[in-house]
Amino acid sequence: MLRIIDARTGEPAPAAHARRAPTRVEAHAPGRDATALRVMLVADLMVRALELDGTPVWTVLTGAEAGERLRKDAAALGIRPFEDGAGHGAGTGQSVRVVGEGESGGGGGSGEAPDVATVAVAPVHPADPGLADPDAVRLALLERHHHARVELDATALDEARDTLARWRRAVADWARHPSRPVPGEVRDRLRTAWEDDLDAPGVLRVLRRVETDPDLADGARFEICAYADRFLGLQLTRDVGTAY
């Protein structure tokens, strides 16, 4: 089960009830800068992790003064749509807020109760990194845990762009081989990473080991990447069927 570090207490807390009642995920993202986008990205990762565990999710966006522009930028990063609003909704079993660092105490202007579990997201610099290559921006953000600041400089974006290109070529090649199941031990490592406070860097480390593990069949590598991408959202299978 997904556990987060609650910014109010500094302690781990479950992001869903064991009875699988819906979890309400609120992204509180004032402004339109890179940190607001990172808040939405972390909320998107939370939704993906909860759904992979079979938990229904209701997502809302609050505090976004530049709502439509922010939504457009978020969509470019592969972040799925969020509803407007601050209510709980019928049947919601639990609520989790995702906010920028320094906004974790109390309601933060969203109308939310102060006792709701809260995930704090560290800032991104520069505030406007540009979205000429949104997939590279997404990977560069995922390379650092959401509690750590991110510098989206040219070096970080170039490295992310090169990594994505390499992985997509590899996945397209592995897809040509007979499929093999995801080994249980690899599946467990992936789930352990993303269920431990949305540890995206941990998931990426697993994929880097998979890329070079001589004991894995290529068909298994493909299935592992496709499975991990349900959490990462990097379109790793995008080039399947493409001739390089």
- 119-to-104, 131, 207 alpha-carbon distances in Å: 7, 25, 25
**What would the two tokens of residue 136 be?**
């590279």
Share of the chain above pLDDT 70, in %: 91
Residue holding tokens 């990473």? 193
* Residue ranges covered by each domain of the chain: 3-128, 158-232
- CB count in 10 Å sphere of residue 144: 18
Element (H, E) at 222: helix 218-232
DSSP 124-163: EESS----SSHHHHHHHHHTS-TTS-EE--HHHHHHHHHH
Quick one: pLDDT at residue 27?
A: 95
Domain 158-232 has CATH 3.30.70: no
Quick one: pLDDT at residue 93?
A: 72
CA distance linking residue 183 with residue 42, whole number of Å: 27
What average pLDDT does this structure show over 54-58? 92
Tell me whether residue 167 is exposed, middle or buried, using C-beta atoms within 10 angstroms of its C-beta: 0 to 12, 13 to 18, 19 or more: buried
Length of the chain: 244
Q: Which residues make beta-bridge pairs with 82? A: none
The residue among 7, 15, 24 whose CA lies nearest residue 105 is 7
Q: DSSP 3-state assignment of 193?
A: helix
What average pLDDT does this structure show over 109-125? 77
**What would the two tokens of residue 40 be?**
């939405």
The residue among 8, 2, 21, 31 whose CA lies nearest residue 113 is 8
pLDDT at 244 > cutoff 90: no
190 vs 87 pLDDT, higher one: 190
The residue among 165, 168, 176 whose CA lies nearest residue 217 is 176
Quick one: pLDDT at residue 81?
A: 93
**What would the two tokens of residue 132 be?**
């000429």
Quick one: pLDDT at residue 242?
A: 81
Quick check: 198 and 42 in contact, CB under 8 A? yes
Given pLDDT bands bounded at 50, 70 and 90, which one contains residue 243? low
Mean pLDDT of the chain: 90
Quick one: pLDDT at residue 67?
A: 79
pLDDT in tens, 180-225: 999 999 999 999 999 999 999 999 999 999 999 999 999 999 999 9
Q: Please, which residues have CB within 8 angstroms of residue 57's CB and are 6 or more apart in sequence?
A: 22, 23, 24, 25, 47, 50, 51
Between 5-9, 62-66, 159-163, the lowest mean confidence (pLDDT) is in 62-66
Q: What are phi and psi of 125, to 5 degrees?
A: -130, 140
Share of the chain above pLDDT 90, in %: 78
What average pLDDT does this structure show over 23-40? 92
